[in-house]
Structure 1
Amino acid sequence: MDTSSEIMSLTIKFGAKSIALSLPASSKVSDMMLQLQTATDVLPRVQKLIFKGKVLTPDLTLKNAQLTNGSKIMLMAAAGFQSQFPVRSSSPIKRKSSPPKRSTPFKQIPVKSTGFDESRLKAWKQTGVVSLRDSGLQEVPITVWDLQSAVRVMDVGGNCLSAFPSNVKSLTNIQRLRLSGNQLKSDSISWQSFLLLSRLAVLAIDHNLLSTIPPEIGLLTSLRCLSVSHNKLTSVPSDIGNLVSLETLDLSYNCLEEVPSSLGSCTKISEINLTRNRLKSIPASWSQISFLKRLLLDSNQLKDFPSEILQKCSQLQTLSLHSNEITMDDLREMDAWPEFDKRRKDKYTKQMDMQVMGSTSGFDEGADVEQWQRW
């Protein structure tokens, strides 16, 4: 009987956690390691899998490793290689219908049949700031859209919105829009309506359920800050390279395997955060980003790094590559390393002189050292 297509259910013990995996019986231990990287953020090369007192080597098939359906395996990781960030669960996050807990209970905003109370509505008109954060909303009240050009800032973060309607196009003077911490999917946002928001400078859609960003994003040419972190992004359109005013981009905690080279055209960007994705390479064209100061790439699958970025990004001071396959020795071999190294050390010295360091752990080298790679 051919068992190659049989699916094995395995349980991996990692500290106090139990991780459930399902793989075909014909899979190799290396396949299991890749799944465990997604669940634990521990790189395969530093995983040590133990079954019945024996270490499982990556080239073994599950069958040759004598694993069976229901087998329990212990996972150990080399010291210093578990990410500094929280470990993601191997199972999908179940979102509650109620808003996130806060340190202090939010005050429920009184709602009338025609909208909010007159005093709050008057304050919104006077200040141009509409704040509905953590209000348990499933949709934005129509009263908000009636304010039209009076709105400059709108915050509907931390609610239960599953859709964001085309009504947003009425807010023609809006500059800052926060949609963080809702239940928005890529197809539940009226992206076309955003094209009328010519003054929009800050857009935060982090902590939602987006799988893609549409090409229309490239038409928001006034955008200076874009945050789409903690979503399910698998791709970013090349049109993002049209955001010539962009200064800060946060795409961390997603599922990106590649990023567009067109981002090199966004020469005003000072910070890019791509922590906790699945990137295997970084485009050399990013060396055109002349204002780049911080590039955060922790917990990806990078084996190398473009030396052009170190050479041409003359303002780059922070490069973070922890939990990747590239090491400090690899970086030090680059011709442009000495100049970059001087800039980052000068920054550290200045922070120490001003006594503004937030940590007492000392100078961060920016990548893992050679001896932590092997068992």
Structure 2
Amino acid sequence: MESPGQGSSPPAITVQVKFAGRTIPVEVPAAASAAELKRLLQPLTNVLPRKVLEDSASLSSMQVVNGSKVMLIASQGLHQGEVPEEVWDCGPSVRILDVSNNGIKEIPHKIAALKSLTKLLLTANDIADENITWEGLSCLPTLLNLSLSQNRITSLPSSLGDCESLIEVDLSSNLLAELPEALGNLHNLKALLLRNNGLTSLPANLFKQCSQLTTLDLHGTEITNDVLRQVEGWEDFDERRRQKHQKQLDFRVGSSGAFDEGADDDNRRR
């Protein structure tokens, strides 16, 4: 005789997926990964899975449990002009919002309602300074990744320094001429991408206060490697990023063994 539970299926949870005005119940193993959920969603929604979620991440680590509601919006590249209203309706249920390449012109204060947001991708839109509510962004306590690259941003407010959970910020290809000192308040920051801006200097406290920073991209700015070396705390930053590079070589992560200094040399700019 089989003992009780022998041959029984592993525990499962039901996730309610909202998509295109429908609610689709999807049953997945309680220990499933994001990759497994993507595979189940693709035939149901005809939306190809993208690398917004880490495939190896478990649903439990993202607090997806039995009865959780997940919203799936195929927005990237649809040129909608604004964030879909359904997003604001979901409030704290939204974990990742990717509306890149949509001609978005405004990020309203409603963004503050997305209290559980961890990743906000606004790449290649039409966002200018006056149309983004920075105070709303500073109300997102779990925001880890912020991309505003390829927009029309000319300045950053000090309130950006209130987003203390940020680990990666991408502001490449904007119109920035300077950065606020409050950027040094981002103590968890590991990657800061600033290429193709009009920057001539960095906040004096950046390397000292952002003690986890290991990736800095200043190519295509007025800040050269010689300028970088004059910033207080540069030696410690340089040691951290070289250690990271060596680890990548040791584990064969990445396709190139070349070390990127992070900025252009003076002689290359002449």
Distance in 1 (CA, whole Å) between partners of 2:74 and 2:185 is 30
SS class of match (1:197): helix
2:88 aligned residue (152, 175, 194): 194
Q: Give the AA of the match of 1:315.
A: Q
Aligned: 1:288 with 2:185: yes
Distance in 1 (CA, whole Å) between partners of 2:250 and 2:74 is 36
Distance 1:243 1:372, change over 3 A: same
2:226 aligned residue (326, 329, 341): 329
SS class of match (2:240): helix
Structure 1 residue 358 displacement after superposition: 2.2
What does residue 111 of structure 1 align with? none
* Contact 1:156-1:178 at 8 Å conserved across structures: no
Aligned: 1:264 with 2:158: no
Structure 1 residue 334 displacement after superposition: 1.3
Q: Give the AA of the match of 1:206.
A: S
Q: Give the AA of the match of 1:364.
A: D
Distance 1:225 1:245, change over 3 A: same
Distance in 1 (CA, whole Å) between partners of 2:247 and 2:237 is 16
Distance in 1 (CA, whole Å) between partners of 2:22 and 2:224 is 55
Structure 1 residue 179 displacement after superposition: 1.5
Q: Give the AA of the match of 2:248.
A: Q
Higher alpha-carbon Rg: 1
SS class of match (1:147): strand
What does residue 230 of structure 1 align with? 124
Aligned: 1:147 with 2:23: yes
2:115 aligned residue (201, 221, 224): 221
Q: Give the AA of the match of 2:151.
A: N
What does residue 63 of structure 2 align with? none
2:145 aligned residue (241, 248, 258): 248
* Contact 1:262-1:285 at 8 Å conserved across structures: yes
- Which stretches of structure 1, 4 residues or longer, exceed 6 Å deviation after superposition? 148-158
What does residue 204 of structure 1 align with? 98
Structure 1 residue 130 displacement after superposition: 6.4
* Contact 1:264-1:287 at 8 Å conserved across structures: yes
SS class of match (1:341): helix
Q: Give the AA of the match of 2:115.
A: T
What does residue 107 of structure 1 align with? none
Aligned: 1:184 with 2:80: yes
Aligned: 1:369 with 2:245: no
* Contact 1:289-1:313 at 8 Å conserved across structures: yes
**Residues 318-342 of structure 1 deviation map (CA, whole Å, 9 limit, x = unaligned):** 0000000111111101121111111
Distance 1:343 1:241, change over 3 A: same
Distance in 2 (CA, whole Å) between partners of 1:269 and 1:156 is 32
**After the TM superposition, which of the residue ranges 215-224 and 295-304 deviates more from structure 2?**
215-224
* Contact 1:257-1:278 at 8 Å conserved across structures: yes
Structure 1 residue 197 displacement after superposition: 2.5
Alignment of 1:160-179 (within 5 A): 173-174=69-70, 177-179=73-75
Distance in 1 (CA, whole Å) between partners of 2:207 and 2:263 is 14
Structure 1 residue 259 displacement after superposition: 2.3
SS class of match (1:198): helix
Structure 1 residue 198 displacement after superposition: 1.8
Structure 1 residue 178 displacement after superposition: 4.6
Distance in 2 (CA, whole Å) between partners of 1:325 and 1:232 is 24
The count of residues paired between Structure 1 and Structure 2 equals 223
* Contact 1:175-1:201 at 8 Å conserved across structures: no
TM-score with structure 2 setting the length: 0.74
Distance in 2 (CA, whole Å) between partners of 1:127 and 1:196 is 15
SS class of match (2:169): strand
Q: Which runs of no fewer than 5 residues in structure 2 stay unpaired? A: 1-13, 28-36, 49-67
Distance 1:369 1:216, change over 3 A: same
SS class of match (1:242): coil
* Contact 2:92-2:113 at 8 Å conserved across structures: no
Give identity over the alignment, percent.
31
* Contact 2:18-2:24 at 8 Å conserved across structures: no
Distance 1:368 1:268, change over 3 A: same
